[in-house]
Amino acid sequence: MDIKEFIKYTKKADEIMMAAFAHTGFSIPEANTLWSHVLSAQHIWAKRMLNEQPQYAVWEVLLPENFEAIYAANLALLEDIAATKSPDEVINYANSAGEVFSSTVGEILMHVCNHGTYHRGQLAKMLKQAGYAVPLTDYIMLKRQGLV
């Protein structure tokens, strides 16, 4: 799968998940914390690829009323990076513990998308346990519906 397609899927699946949270009135604190982490991680990775300092810490709890704006900014950055940088470009960066690593743009974008998928599964479980409907975010289902 092309990384741009994976970003497109991530965008749609995340939008569906955010709508599900909004439906709850953001009433599940653990889900808000985990969604904050997803948004912060997207932001941090985008900023690493741009060699810029991130605004958020990896487990910073964000205000639910800011989720949509932060998400839109993150996706704009990720889509721009995918469109303008070579997937083979090497990015040197330090993690939150200060350890230095090198990864390609393609590897980082794949990680960002996969990271979101992993946590959407956890979030779906939280929604179900709280008695809410679990949103459909499976790639193949969204593809069949023409949403990706």
Q: Which residues are annotated as a binding site?
A: 37, 115, 119
Rounded CA separation 4/129 (Å)? 33
Binding positions for a divalent metal cation:
37, 115, 119
Q: Which long-range contacts (CB under 8 A, 24 or more apart) does 12-17 make?
A: 12/142, 12/147, 12/148, 13/116, 13/117, 13/120, 13/137, 13/139, 13/142, 14/38, 14/71, 14/75, 14/116, 14/120, 16/135, 16/136, 16/137, 17/120, 17/123, 17/124, 17/135, 17/137
